[in-house]
Amino acid sequence: MTTTDIRVDLGAPLRGDDLVRASAPLAVLVGPDVRDRLTRGREHLRTVLADDDRPVYGAKTGFGALVGFAGRTDEADQCDNTLAHLGAGQGPDLPADITRATLLIRTRSLAQGLSGVSPHVVDGLAAMFATTFVPAVPRYGSVGASGDLIPLAYATQALRGRGHAYVDGERMPADRALRRAGLTPLTLDGRDALALVNGTSVTTAATALALRGVRASHRAVQDLTCLLVDVLGADPGFLHPSLITAYGHPGAATVAERMRAALSGTTPGGTRALQEPYSIRCSPQLLGAAEDALRYVDGVVDADLAGVSDNPLFFPDEDLVAHGGNFFGQPAAFAADVLAMVTASLGNLAERQLDLLVDPHRNNGLPPMLAAGPGRQHGLQGVQLATTAFVAEIRRAAVPASTQSLPTNLHNQDVVPLGTQAALRAYDLAELLRLLCGSLALGLRQAVHVGGRRPTAPRCAELLDVLADAIPPVDPDRPLDADVRLAAELVTGVRG
């Protein structure tokens, strides 16, 4: 296990790319400014705790609905008091990339010095990122309201040597994993423990990673739509700048400009109807609306990555302990639900375009299912069937989670965002969308093999060549599951 050359400075806001890089070992830097903020915040906490007249939630009290009762007086015991009762998660472990991204977001939030944590906590988290250590965190148990309490408690316990964790992809007891990774178990007091769990870092991490996947597929659908237009010899007039400018939506203008560049040099075949089906003709409007929606999600994720998600917060310069709701994951809940809706629309578009491509009544007379010898061979028939199932699964799961608030915790948490559910669902759906892109790409590669014209736009021809060089034609039939995955990786740049 060696630290890569990739570095993340906790003194600067995180970026989405940092979260992707966190899935592998990387250097996380705790600079002098960060250390100064942490020290000042910790000293302020100590001053406040020494004052019997100043209440501090979680350091002097019980948790949640039990805030009216005193907590444990011993600081180590108060840490256990925080974490033990949250060991109630269930289900499979979260993917490693989500868990590592979660902890990077949590580390950055704590490093801003407003949580009153011990500096050695941030040092310990930073040291973990130089290894392949990944806490084993169950998927189910958070409502994303008082932070992702239960999943973050499992992550924190693993960093203390309790529960389970992975090293080099192998699951084992956490204490053994720490030893194998060369890490020292974290020692925490009650405030440290609460600060580690009282934030929506799982929700933000899953939303950010889902956004990356959906954005990659969004670009891929634009490219594949252009390739479809060129292979069919369709007229690209539906992208005319005057037409799109009159539409008035900035996302459509951005998408259409990119698509016009991809189709530069194409020559219409002259055999298509005056107006193409909506899956071609209205693609800049649909893809443009998706672009506008994704820009909204970009803003939410950027704000989450720059902000502090915790309660209470400590402001030394104001001698203020502020109790409030900065652990409430409503922004990411809305954003993740928007991602799910975008995914459903993009997936439906890709599936409809593949359906058009395999239909001899709409594909310029290419053989049905793009089979090289219809009847003796079946071409894309199995792939097209699978895409129908993918779209059905996306639609089934795209019901907004953020509208499903359910009171809990003796009505202390009487409204909850359910952002964790929204975010993890968006993460899952992003993979199905990626596979739909791969399915359409495979169909376009096959269409040229069975008689479709070679693209006349240089950039479209280049994309076809990338696919054709990596994936042989379907002739004769063969299982195509691996080909779909490879095509998805080629057109999105994201490995499944």
Rounded (5°) CA angle 2-17-223: 125
Beta carbons within 8 Å of 177's beta carbon, 6+ residues apart = 133, 158, 164, 165, 166, 167
Q: What is the DSSP letter of 9?
A: E
Rounded (5°) CA angle 365-368-372: 95
Strand partners, 377: 374
Helix (H) or strand (E) holding 28: strand 27-29
SS3 track for 228-261: HHHHHCCCHHHHCHHHHHHHCCHHHHHHHHHHHH
Rounded (5°) CA angle 391-395-396: 115
Residue of 57, 154, 166, 427 marked catalytic: 57
> Among this protein's residues, is 154 annotated catalytic?
no
Polymer length in residues for the chain? 496
Write the single-letter amino acid at 234: A
- Considering Cα of 222, then 228, then 229, then 231, what sign does the dihedral take? positive
- Considering Cα of 156, then 160, then 164, then 168, what sign does the dihedral take? positive
Question: Residues with catalytic annotation?
Answer: 57
